[in-house]
């Protein structure tokens, strides 16, 4: 399974967070590899420069883990401005996308009964 890069760019978020923490591309690759996910400096560089347009879910989780952020913050910009492509044919406001991704609020035109059927009862109403 692959996660395709949003218009904001997972690679750009990885680069921003890596630099903020003072980690080199090789250092990040080593940290990700230590989680059991195969990664090298070229993978990091290709993601950050846009020459690689997607990441696997396993890679996304490993990058989020070693950068110490929630996966949603790599996938969807933490800003509240702009839109996010939930499918190639549908973009929604970033706030809506983040709430949907966290399971807090369904996307527009979603049947609430269906959306809430997969939420454990003890999590209903939590944000």
Domain of 12, CATH number, reads: 1.10.260.40
**38 has pLDDT over 80:** yes
pLDDT band per the 50, 70, 90 thresholds, residue 127: low
- Residues composing the chain: 127
In angstroms, the CA 21 to CA 38 distance is 21
Total-model pTM = 0.83
Q: Which residue has the higher pLDDT, 121 or 18?
A: 18
Higher pLDDT, 9 or 74: 74
pLDDT tens for each residue of 79-95? 878 888 899 899 999 99
Measure the CA angle with vertex 113, ends 110 and 118; round to 5°. 95
Query: Do residue 31 and residue 89 come from a single domain?
Result: no
Structure tokens at 58: 């396993």
- Domain containing 107 equals 83-123
State the pLDDT at residue 42: 97
Number of domains in the chain: 2
Q: Are residue 67 and residue 109 in the same domain, yes or no?
A: no
- 8 Å CB contact between 79 and 94: yes
Clarify whether residues 9 and 66 are in a common domain: yes
SS3 75: helix
Q: How far is CA 30 from CA 4, 6, 101, in A?
A: 23, 25, 28
55 and 107 housed in the same domain: no
Which one is predicted more confidently, 109 or 8? Answer: 109
Provide the pLDDT for residue 8. 39
pLDDT for 42-99, tens place per residue?
Answer: 999 999 999 998 899 999 999 999 999 999 999 988 887 888 889 989 999 999 999 9
Q: Which pLDDT belongs to residue 125?
A: 65
């Amino acid at each position: 399974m692959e996660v395709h890069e949003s218009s904001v760019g997972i690679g750009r978020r990885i680069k921003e967070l890596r630099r903020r923490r003072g980690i080199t591309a090789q250092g990040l690759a080593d940290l990700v590899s230590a989680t059991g996910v195969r990664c090298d400096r070229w993978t990091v560089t290709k993601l950050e420069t846009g020459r690689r347009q997607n990441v696997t879910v396993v890679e996304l989780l490993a990058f989020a883990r070693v950068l110490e952020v929630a996966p949603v913050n790599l996938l969807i910009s933490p800003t509240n401005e702009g839109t996010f492509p939930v499918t190639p044919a549908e973009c929604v406001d970033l706030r809506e996308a983040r709430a949907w991704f966290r399971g807090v609020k369904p996307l527009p035109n979603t049947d609430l009964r269906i959306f809430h059927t997969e939420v454990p009862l003890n999590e209903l109403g939590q944000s």
